[in-house]
A and B are shown apart, each in its own frame.
Chain A
Amino acid sequence: MTTHSASTSPSAATSAPASSTAAALPLGDDALVLSHRLGEWAGHAPVLEEEVALANIALDLLGQARVLLSLVGDEDELAYLREERAFRNVQLVEQPNGDFAHTIARQLYFSTYQHLMYGQLAASDSPLAPLAAKAVKEVAYHQDHAEQWTLRLGDGTAESHERMQRGLDALWRFTGELFEPVAGLDLDREALRERWTAMVTAVIGKATLTVPEGPQSGAWTAGAGREGLHTEPFGRMLAEMQHLHRSHPGASW
């Protein structure tokens, strides 16, 4: 299929202002890494419908990641041959799946952010706007999915309530990084944070859960994923994700 030319050849990419596509790497890494985490649920989800739902969400994110990373360079090289420190994703998306409630907490925090972020980006004059306009419609469903599950688990049994609260609490310290400045991404971050907080607070309250207290960034590492500093589980995730490609360079289906 050689006629499938990527229109993002180096000449096209570099002719755009440097800052305009600078955000493609961090946003692409967010989508790629979360896609891989969600893919880890394949074969392990609590019910078949959720197996399919999580895989579908992962697929949406993978599609977004491919478009974004292709703006930066070769998508396969970027995904499979970069070292941990070269990844620019937020630490929230690299956090292990934990139990189902933990994954849903991660989804609630991230999809709410991603929906608002793509919404702003779609209305901007960024060259990423066409992707954002498309992705925002997909992420609306991810957010709805996370919201419905948060309500169901929070306002469910004593055990589901406790697990959902535990997930929200454990991941809270990774949420501050979502509102840090990103090079090439000209957003109203204050509005983003306010809207995110209002939406997440409303869902958590309605689910009879408690908005976590405490800082939204942790010790020295938290809040540094955009600078290439990642948490311990990320290296292991990458090892698994990159293993096949590194062991068998050029392998294809």
Chain B
Amino acid sequence: MVTTAAYTPHTAHNTHTAHTAHAAHAAHTDHTAHAPSTPTPLEAELRALAGSVPDPELPVLTLGELGVLRSVHVSGTGHVDVELTPTYTGCPAIEAMSADIEQVLREHGRHDVTVRTVLSPAWSTDDISAEGRRKLAEFGIAPPRPHTADGPVPLSLTVRCPHCGSTDTELLSRFSSTACKALRRCVACQEPFDHFKEL
């Protein structure tokens, strides 16, 4: 627990929290470029670089496809500020992701980099891109289903087997190799498979 996942009370809820968000920002570098302005060509380029980093747990996906890269800003002094959001609050991969982003940016000449972890708005499996979903399925992991109005745990829709395509699959465990996956088995082909569960 040496590297601390930063907690920034970013929220658009109200004026009260806007005050604390300011306070948290003040503890960092200048955030003059933080406004929802159009990214500069340099920022777009660095964002593409950071977004190309493979996920440490699911290397078939890039961080961009996973939807965890929130923003890349370059200040007037050339400082690069990267905002990253965890899939799960306790996701241990966040530290490896931060280190990998720092490394790739360093390799491209950017040495003054801060990678911050932000929680809000909370990441959702809906943030995974269409290309990301396709790659997951190709890798043998059933992609998450889109959210419905029913809430965060849609149990009624079937999950398709990524191996044979059958919809006749059953849940073995709600928690699999990582917190973000559930373990299922295909009744048709009998193969067990991971399902990226909806969050």
Interface set of A (CB-CB < 8 Å, partner B): 1, 3-9, 11-12, 15-16, 20, 49-50, 52-53, 55-57, 59-64, 66-67, 70-71, 75-76, 79, 125, 127, 129-131, 133-138, 140-141, 144-145, 148, 252
Contacts and interface: CB of A to CB of B under 8 A. Distances in A.
B79 to A, nearest CB: 10
Given A3-B113, A67-B119, A138-B199, A59 B179 contact: yes
Contact of A130 (B19, B90, B114, B120): B120
B1 A140 contact: no
B142 to A, nearest CB: 16
A26 B145 CA distance: 35
A3 B115 contact: yes
A56 B175 contact: yes
Interface string B101-142: 010000000000111100111111000000000000000000
A125 B17 contact: yes
Given A4-B95, A4-B98, A137 B7 contact: no
23 contacts: A1-B102, A3-B113, A3-B115, A4-B95, A5-B27, A7-B6, A9-B27, A15-B20, A15-B23, A50-B173, A56-B178, A60-B88, A63-B86, A63-B88, A66-B1, A127-B17, A129-B11, A129-B17, A130-B7, A131-B7, A131-B119, A138-B89, A141-B175
Contacts of B123: 134
B90 A53 contact: no
Given A7-B7, A8-B24, A140 B91 contact: no
Contacts of B178: 56
A36 to B, nearest CB: 13
A58 B3 CA distance: 19
A130 B10 contact: yes
Given A9-B27, A12-B23, 15 more contacts: A6-B5, A6-B7, A7-B8, A11-B27, A12-B26, A15-B23, A15-B26, A59-B88, A59-B92, A60-B88, A60-B90, A63-B90, A66-B4, A70-B5, A141-B175
A12 to B, nearest CB: 4
B27 A12 contact: yes
Given A57-B175, A63-B91, A1 B122 contact: no
Given A1-B3, A49-B172, A140 B89 contact: no
Given A125-B16, A141-B174, A64 B3 contact: no
